[in-house]
Structure 1
Amino acid sequence: MSDTTVYEIVWVLFLRPIQKMTTLTPLKKALNISQSNELTEAAYHLPLQAKRVLWLCLIQCYFNKNEPDDVSPLFSITVADYQKYFKVGVDTASTDMKKGVRALASNNVTFYPREGEYEEVTRPWLAEAGMKRGRGKWQVEFNYKVLPYLLGLTSQFTTYSLVDCGKLRSVKVIRLYESLCQFRQSGLWVTTAEWLSERFMLPASQRTNMAEMKRTFLTPALKNINESTPLKVGMRQDESGKLIFTIVDRNA
């Protein structure tokens, strides 16, 4: 697993002759999230509540490169977990979780495989989601074709702190932070405005106007990241139009 060491906060998912649910356990250390680079580089837009629901599932994932097909896609997440990790009241947690699960259930994610027949593949996130009556618990089943991307098709992961993400102001800023974390070891990320527009599903005003993208997205996003996370990031555009991000991890 690349980048920083992930604390022992994930549980090995049960093998699936019979579907079993995974649950979160109390944390003894700061919470880090690990997600596959395939998911970090995917194109999707989710509201913050759905992103948080996804996080609750991600921290349960254990990458088993020997038997990835035996991992269950079924997760159990609770209002109590949402309330605890995201520091909100029980009523807010209950409302947010319902909104988050519904948003996951109604949205798709697009992946860009490096190998195989297809250049890009779009799939729904979930196969099913159900709420237990009176228990504040949701049972979420991911689309079996999406699950490998949650667990990782390669051994490459992006690791970042959920605490840091909690200080960021929007889902698009969070997604930029996730992408920057993927390159914090090398300290350099070179990309294009087109890549950012496609992956982050930016509005037309930013897609067609680089100055507008900088003014309304990149500049305030990097200010938020520099002030609220361990990363210190600079950005410039070269003569060919490529965006060059320099990344310093102040915790390294």
Structure 2
Amino acid sequence: MKRSTKPNRVVQSNALTTASYKLTLVEKQILLLAVAKVRDCGESLDPSTPVVVSALDLVEIFGADPSNAYKYLKSATELLYERSVTIDRPDPDNPKLRFTRTRWVAALDHFPTEGRISLFFSPKVLPYLTNLAREFTAFQLQHTADMTSVYAIRIYELLCQWRSRGELEVTLDWLRERFNLPESYDDVRRLKSRVIVPAIEQINAHSDLWVKWEQRKRGRVVEALIFTFGPKAEQKPDTESRPASPANSKPAKPKLTRAYIERHAQPGESWEEAWERCRRKLEQESVGP
């Protein structure tokens, strides 16, 4: 079936991109459709403003089966109504507030004969979707249209947040928490085979980004993942690992500058936490093994 080529720009606060929650693929697709439509409502959007998502949207954008599209829409939005999201450090002016937990959706209106649902975002979520002047993530909805892994969509969102930097390092604990993964994914091999590898394959196959990844270990333990990425319009590195420096040359030792901290900051860190972690890292590297 021919997919819709209509641009649908998703724009959301970075705090929402890095929030902790769990959704099925269809729930995530519906949420993306609704977020993309928020921009059509303009500044008039408030908790009483409906955001309409139709079965036809699922068919045109995500290629859903037309005969079952409304059934998927209805069942997924009912599940979405029960879902919650945890947002870390929701108010920069109130550092004592560490996190907020809220429902995504405050209410739903059903129009089965018209094949659509009106969704009302909760008052706590709405500010992260409107009036975004800074610190937001933006991407075109069609770049997620062919992804069949909700983890691929979430990792793609994270990459879009850090698009200008081209590199993102996340700890495995942070990733497990943000994706609400079950305890069975404490097994690194399972995490890589079920989440990371399929997600990266789908991002490379279907999105506007190329991405490669590597592990960072502490001893024998995998502690973090490093994603290196960029637009497909640019040349993709032809090696899976970073090029080694010539044997007769020594790279300059990095300095603890603002640019260095911004480049190596991890999602969810405060400036002070990033500074202290980077300081310790450079101190350890200067001492050597």
| Other structure's SS at 1:90 match | coil
* Structure 1 equivalent of residue 113 of structure 2: 134
Quote the offset at 1:55 in angstroms: 1.8
* Structure 2 equivalent of residue 214 of structure 1: 192
Quote the offset at 1:216 in angstroms: 2.6
Deviations 1:36-93 (CA, angstroms, capped at 9, x unpaired): 21211111111122112212211122399xx96x532321222233332223343321
> Which runs of structure 2 are paired with 1:11-30 in the superposition (5 Å)?
29-30=6-7
Deviations 1:83-133 (CA, angstroms, capped at 9, x unpaired): 322233433210111022111101111101252232111111111112125
* Structure 1 equivalent of residue 62 of structure 2: 86
Does the 8 Å contact 1:63/1:151 carry over to 2? Answer: no
* Structure 1 equivalent of residue 184 of structure 2: 205
The CA distance in 1 between the partners of 2:134 and 2:40, in whole Å, is 8
The CA distance in 2 between the partners of 1:53 and 1:216, in whole Å, is 23
Q: Quick check: 167-176 or 233-242, which moved more?
A: 233-242
- Output the TM-score relative to the length of structure 2: 0.69
The CA distance in 1 between the partners of 2:77 and 2:132, in whole Å, is 24
The change in CA–CA distance for 1:177 and 1:48 in structure 2 (over 3 A counts) is same
RMSD: 2.5
* Structure 2 equivalent of residue 59 of structure 1: 36
Q: What amino acid maps onto 1:111 in structure 2?
A: I
* Structure 1 equivalent of residue 13 of structure 2: 36
* Structure 2 equivalent of residue 112 of structure 1: 88
The change in CA–CA distance for 1:235 and 1:97 in structure 2 (over 3 A counts) is same
Does the 8 Å contact 1:33/1:59 carry over to 2? Answer: yes
Task: In structure 2, list runs of 5 or more residues that go unmatched.
Answer: 235-289
Are 1:244 and 2:221 an aligned pair?
no
The CA distance in 1 between the partners of 2:8 and 2:45, in whole Å, is 23
The CA distance in 2 between the partners of 1:171 and 1:94, in whole Å, is 20
The change in CA–CA distance for 1:86 and 1:216 in structure 2 (over 3 A counts) is closer
| Other structure's SS at 1:42 match | coil
Q: Structure 2 residue aligned with 1:72, among 46, 53, 59?
A: 46
Does the 8 Å contact 1:183/1:247 carry over to 2? Answer: no
Q: Which has the higher contact order (CA 8 A, sep 6+)?
A: 1
Q: What amino acid maps onto 1:127 in structure 2?
A: A
Q: Structure 2 residue aligned with 1:182, among 156, 161, 165?
A: 161
Between the two proteins, the alignment pairs up a number of residues equal to 222
Does the 8 Å contact 1:183/1:189 carry over to 2? Answer: yes
The structure with the largest helix share of the pair is 2
The CA distance in 1 between the partners of 2:116 and 2:40, in whole Å, is 25
% same residue: 30
Q: What amino acid maps onto 1:126 in structure 2?
A: V
The change in CA–CA distance for 1:160 and 1:133 in structure 2 (over 3 A counts) is closer
Does the 8 Å contact 1:112/1:121 carry over to 2? Answer: yes
The CA distance in 1 between the partners of 2:114 and 2:148, in whole Å, is 30
Are 1:47 and 2:24 an aligned pair?
yes
Kindly name which structure, 1 or 2, has the bigger radius of gyration based on alpha carbons.
2
